[in-house]
Amino acid sequence: MEDLKQKLKVQIIEALNLQDTKPEDIDDNAPLFGEGLGLDSIDSLELMVLLERHYQIKVEDPREGRKILQSVQSMAEFIQSKQPA
Amino acid sequence: MKGKCYIQGLAAITPQHTFEGNLFSQPLVSTGANVFAVTEPDYKTFIPANSLRRISRLLKMGLTTALKCMQDSGLSVPDAIVTGTGKGSLQDTERFLKDIRQYEERALNPTPFIQSTYNAVNGMIAVQQQVTTYNNTFVHRGFSFESALLDSMLLLEEGASHTLTGAFDEISAEHFYIKSRIGHWKKEMVNSAALYDHLTPGTISGEGAVFFTLTAAPTTQSYARVAGLKMLYKPSLTALTTGLATFLSQHGLSAKDIDLVITGRNGDNNFEHYYRQLDLGLPQVSQLPFKHLCGEYETAGAFALWLGAHMLKAQQVPQQWFPMVSQFPATLNRILIYNHFFGDQHTFILLERTAAPAV
């Protein structure tokens, strides 16, 4: 799980071109939108694309997406839940 | 087209140091790579960091130039935003197309698609300035900027007080390669400062973003008046000569009333005959070529207008940029710009000093 969260942080920084942000600056449980990283709705679309490209997970329900993209922790838990045991 | 159209503010990001400082003391920038890239300013003072991280190069160039232009004119909400671009954001278009291929039409990132649309710069200006007025982008190859200028002049005639009018284009390595396959660029490497000494097939590639605030009435700050505009599509040499004579006579002028011609000469011997034909129609008139300053691209005409407006206001030529020219006119009341894009789209623009004496 820790490795997955670290990898996710690197992928988020790259996908959203978060200049001047390092993986260690992102708290696992900090909200990605509004406060925290201050992302917006276009970023949420880019994070959906990230999940599809890197983890082959397609999020169909926008309400589900809102919960998944709350934080790095929630994203990692979702990815792990979709991976075969 | 004749019009009451005054340049109240302007800004440019080009291969020369045109964004800040006094252009009359800026050194000539040259390249030996046949690709003339712009000198980019620090965008952070114009665009919020959270937006900057997402937007691509051409959008940064266009938006920053537009904002600087409005600063220059003291205007923040124009009655219209009208622009022209030949290619839009190539960086985004290429990224989007590569993603379609790489990810087999799935998992496509929306941002490059949104920004690859031609009117993305206009949209960003409107959002940043909270402007909900007329907003239009023209994409007509070598007539892109000129169509935006024509539309702006018509809007001013119809009662608009001011317009924000501009042009932006970029070059990418991929696009340079594609256009090299159809002979747009010289095969031999040429130093841009010596472009006109190499009259061979092709020219050098360029890019830039230029914006103007145009107003229906002059002020003491106005740079110049855009007195006339004429576009000719694929004219014969005879039609070009007739077109020039008609254009001048429509304004009650003859060749002797023109103090300076800014020409789009670019060292390409495939199209040099058009410029030689112009020389015949304007004997004894001083000429300044400008493609060694910005390279060739669809909206390079906007650079010529920017240059002409500066010279009319300052009543001087940035002579350090023209080592190939030995004599410069003492006074500047009327400047004629003649440019064409690879022989297809030809344009005449007549620029007048704001307080030019009547002919």
Mean pLDDT computed over B328-339: 96
Helix intervals (H) in B214-300: 237-250, 272-281, 291-294
CA distance B218 to B227: 12
pLDDT, one tens digit per residue, over B109-152 is 889 999 999 999 999 999 999 999 999 999 999 999 999 999 99
B14 neighbors B294 (Cβ within 8 angstroms):
yes
Read off the pLDDT band of B106 (50, 70, 90). confident
Assigned fold of B6-215 = Peroxisomal Thiolase; Chain A, domain 1 (3.40.47)
The CATH number of the domain holding residue A45 is 1.10.1200.10
Check residue B357 and give its pLDDT. 66
A14 interface with B at CB cutoff 8 Å: no
**Domain of residue A37, residue span:** 2-82
Residue B97 exposure: Cα atoms within 13 Å on the Cβ side: 9
A45 interface with B at CB cutoff 8 Å: yes
- Ordered by start, the domain boundaries in chain B are 6-215, 224-352
CA distance B212 to B229: 16
pLDDT, one tens digit per residue, over B190-220 is 999 999 999 999 999 999 999 999 999 999 9
- Whether residues A46 and B106 touch (CB distance < 8 A) is answered with no
Q: How many domains does chain A have?
A: 1
Interface test with B, best of A42, A44, A57 (most B CBs within 10 A): A42
**H/E stretch holding B11:** strand B6-13
Check residue B359 and give its pLDDT. 66
User: Phi then psi for B159, rounded to 5 degrees?
Assistant: 125, -5
- Whether residues A46 and B107 touch (CB distance < 8 A) is answered with no
Check residue B8 and give its pLDDT. 97
Nearest to B53 among A17, A49, A52 (CB): A17
Nearest to A49 among B54, B109, B114 (CB): B109
Read off the pLDDT band of B356 (50, 70, 90). low
B344 neighbors B233 (Cβ within 8 angstroms):
yes
CATH class of B224-352: alpha beta
Contacts of A45 in chain B (CB under 8 A): 109-110
Inform me whether the pLDDT recorded for B2 exceeds 90: no
ipTM of the complex in this document = 0.83
Strand order in the sheet with B286-289: B134-138, B80-84, B162-169, B208-215, B6-13, B224-233, B345-352, B334-341, B260-263, B286-289
